[in-house]
Structure 1
Amino acid sequence: MPPQRATLLQVAQRAGVSRSTASFVLAGRHQDMRISEDARQRVLRAAQELDYRPNLMARSLRTKVTKTIALVSDTIASDPYAGRAIHGSLAAAVAHGHLLLIGETDGDPVVEERLISDFLDRQVDAFLYASMFTRYVRLPKKLRGRPVVLLNCLTKEAEPSHHSIIPDELAAGLTAARALLEAGHRQGIYLVGHPGGGVFASRERLAGIKEGLGEAGVRLAGVVDCDWWPDSAYDAVSGAIGDGLDPRALICINDRVALGTYQALREAGVAIPDDISVISFDDSELAAWLRPQLTSIALPHYELGWRAVETLLGPAAPPAVTRLPMPIRRRHSVTKPPVE
């Protein structure tokens, strides 16, 4: 059997003070109650000797505060890249003296409802409602009217009722376009990936790319359409090169697409960046593994998690959508266009 935990009464008896005095000292209220320094030191020493830990459940029943946050997500917790949002959330929760409980639904509404009910039964103080991909969501009914921050997702409400913390995908598109323009590219710039309007990131990135190029009077030359996976990108780029496409720069919709693009260009005898510059989004581990290393605009996963908890536990403010910067990681896949 585990050893029996020390009680507050035992701490008080060892310190030679009343139970209420011990309670005030351990709660940090000794000055308010005019408790002597000698008594305070005796209580602290007794608590250390007995390895006293407060009964958080009993405290929560008295104060109605459990100092716990529940994060409800679809698949963010198990994704190797987006999991950094969990790390950021954990770090911020610890900094505020809170525990973070994590529940993953795998997109199943029945599982989601049960998880939220379980968290409510445990009297958590507040919720993070998170998504693997930035998208529009409908907040579950059981979370309405409760302290909630949306992590990497947002609602379509004209006036937001909750804070949303998302990456600034529009500015990321601008960054990608400006990086190519700064390198001297003006022609033959293509997007690789499916820019369908149903995916928030692709729509925002494409809008930013067009805006950035437009500032310099440059137009996107076209789109090499493919799914967001290496094999689809490989097939699409290989087919386009085989049909005579001669691009000078490729903007890949994410790093997985860039991987397939690299393979296709290598097989076609096209050198990166001497013949074609390549830039991408996400800055996953793939970006640094590829050769040459890939210039990519980073998703700020850790910062998203940190900011969501800071917003949840910080001073009250009107609900708003907060877009976090996506910094560019400059490596070796972008250079000036070849001389014709």
Structure 2
Amino acid sequence: MARPTLSDVARRAGLSPTAASLILNDRPSRLSEDAAERVRKAARELGYRPNMAARSLRTKSQTIGFVSDFITLAGFGGQMIHGAMQEARKTEHVLLITETEQDPLVPHAIAETGVEGSEPGDESAAINALLDRLPEGIIYATVRSQPVTVPKAARSVPVVLLNASSSAEAECSVLPDEYAGGRSIAGLLIDNNFSSGIVVIGSSQTAIHDPGSTPAVSRRLDGIFSVFDEHGITPLAQIDCPIWDAQAGYTAVKTLIDAREPLNALLCLNDRLAFGAYQALTEAGLRVPDDVSVVSFDDDPLASYLRPQLTTAALPFREMGELAVRLLLDQNAEKKEHLVPMPVQLRGSLRSQA
């Protein structure tokens, strides 16, 4: 008589082999006690005994699954992965990375070490490819901070959202503290005596709660305008830009210059807009920061190569990746948003008003 397999146990219990394996190996999962008892009962009835040789190979390196959209294609995304990998190594875990290459998260390909690919649109296949490695849990990440729906296939193990949130139910998520970051950058202008001639480039206060606006943008602008409101400051202009790139920043600032607006400070909602703003100011013979100060967000690597260097609030992606791993491995981690501070990189693009 053939030796009963894990698949036999799973079939009798009415669950997947991955779920049965998690229960029989006492691994963390979100499966009900009823499901766990069905698996144990099926194993007893069939006389199932785990393959200890295979188990020793599987458990030689503990693993953490990392599911993302197209994070390796984005410069900032590498910082999240690096932070997560560094933190995983401290606890002798291996990070297995699945990249979907689609937005919203719909699996397309698996991009790391030994994890086979999946067909486009087959999200559960990508998740199951990780679950077959018996991970401690899954980090579910996005490049663009946004609400997501965690796939059902992932819910058999602990999940931490990275640079993403869930509006459907309470989840453990890691996000940059955009509201505090917005307050920090706006506060710099106040601290340097700016009260007029301030232009916000990227989005306006009236547009931040539109359906197309992400929670990150809304919080960033809420922080900015909370400071302005406290000090009775009304920006000279608020310019909406559908795409936050250098061309949009250049066009916005050139339009202001051509209209002879009395510019004193540009508050750009990301560094790419600021890059374009620099070009428009330079073409018009205006100097940063002697004529116009510029502040921004993200801390793109190019920000420190501009002349003068750009003052900006950094997205703490490396620290976010580290925290996601710590939370995933902490069975007592609170199911809430965990916000990571956005440190201000104070550089030469800001000058105090007399």
Name the stretch that deviates more: 315-324 or 148-157: 315-324
5+ residue gaps, structure 2, are 1-51, 108-120
Deviation at 1:59, TM superposition (A): 1.9
**In the TM superposition, what whole-angstrom CA distance separates every residue of 1:67-123 from its partner, at most 9, and x where no partner exists?**
100100011123122210101000110001110000110123515332112112222
Match of 2:228 in 1: 213
Given that residues 186 and 224 in structure 2 are in contact (C-alpha distance below 8 angstroms), is that contact kept between their aligned partners in structure 1?
A: yes
Q: Which SS does the other structure have where 1:82 is aligned?
A: helix
**In the TM superposition, what whole-angstrom CA distance separates every residue of 1:193-226 from its partner, at most 9, and x where no partner exists?**
1344322222111111000122222223321232
Given that residues 66 and 125 in structure 1 are in contact (C-alpha distance below 8 angstroms), is that contact kept between their aligned partners in structure 2?
A: no
Distance 2:326 2:85 in 1: 11
Match of 1:80 in 2: 75
Match of 2:164 in 1: 153
Match of 1:307 in 2: 323
- 1:105 matches 2:100: yes
Match of 1:231 in 2: 247
Given that residues 297 and 328 in structure 1 are in contact (C-alpha distance below 8 angstroms), is that contact kept between their aligned partners in structure 2?
A: yes
Distance 2:197 2:343 in 1: 25
Given that residues 246 and 272 in structure 2 are in contact (C-alpha distance below 8 angstroms), is that contact kept between their aligned partners in structure 1?
A: yes
Alignment of 1:134-145 (within 5 A): 134-145=145-156
Distance 1:147 1:138 in 2: 15
Greater C-alpha radius of gyration: 1
Deviation at 1:298, TM superposition (A): 0.4
Given that residues 256 and 286 in structure 1 are in contact (C-alpha distance below 8 angstroms), is that contact kept between their aligned partners in structure 2?
A: no
Distance 1:334 1:56 in 2: 63
TM-score normalised by length of structure 2: 0.75
Percent of paired sites with the same residue: 39
Q: Which SS does the other structure have where 1:323 is aligned?
A: strand
Match of 1:298 in 2: 314
Match of 1:175 in 2: 184
Alignment of 1:314-329 (within 5 A): 314-329=330-345
Given that residues 66 and 124 in structure 1 are in contact (C-alpha distance below 8 angstroms), is that contact kept between their aligned partners in structure 2?
A: no
Distance 1:313 1:56 in 2: 26
Match of 1:259 in 2: 275
5+ residue gaps, structure 1, are 1-54
- 1:58 matches 2:69: no
Number of positions where the alignment pairs a residue of Structure 1 with one of Structure 2: 280
Match of 1:96 in 2: 91
Distance 1:82 1:189 in 2: 31
- In the superposition, relative to structure 1, how do residues 272 and 147 fare at CA in structure 2: closer, same or farther (>3 Å)? same
Match of 1:194 in 2: 203
Given that residues 87 and 322 in structure 2 are in contact (C-alpha distance below 8 angstroms), is that contact kept between their aligned partners in structure 1?
A: yes
Alignment of 1:100-139 (within 5 A): 100-107=95-102, 108-109=106-107, 110-139=121-150
- Match of 1:223, as an amino acid? Q
Q: Which SS does the other structure have where 2:97 is aligned?
A: strand
Distance 1:233 1:111 in 2: 39
Match of 2:299 in 1: 283
Q: Which SS does the other structure have where 2:347 is aligned?
A: coil
Match of 2:65 in 1: 70
- Match of 1:154, as an amino acid? S
Distance 1:333 1:318 in 2: 40
Deviation at 1:243, TM superposition (A): 1.7
- 1:204 matches 2:215: no
**In the TM superposition, what whole-angstrom CA distance separates every residue of 1:161-189 from its partner, at most 9, and x where no partner exists?**
x2100000011100011001111101111
**In the TM superposition, what whole-angstrom CA distance separates every residue of 1:126-157 from its partner, at most 9, and x where no partner exists?**
10000001111111111124200000100113
Q: Which SS does the other structure have where 2:77 is aligned?
A: coil
Given that residues 224 and 240 in structure 1 are in contact (C-alpha distance below 8 angstroms), is that contact kept between their aligned partners in structure 2?
A: no
**In the TM superposition, what whole-angstrom CA distance separates every residue of 1:288-332 from its partner, at most 9, and x where no partner exists?**
011110000000010000000000012413311111100100000
Task: Kindly report the root-mean-square deviation, in angstroms, between the aligned alpha carbons of the 2 structures.
Answer: 1.9
Distance 1:288 1:180 in 2: 20
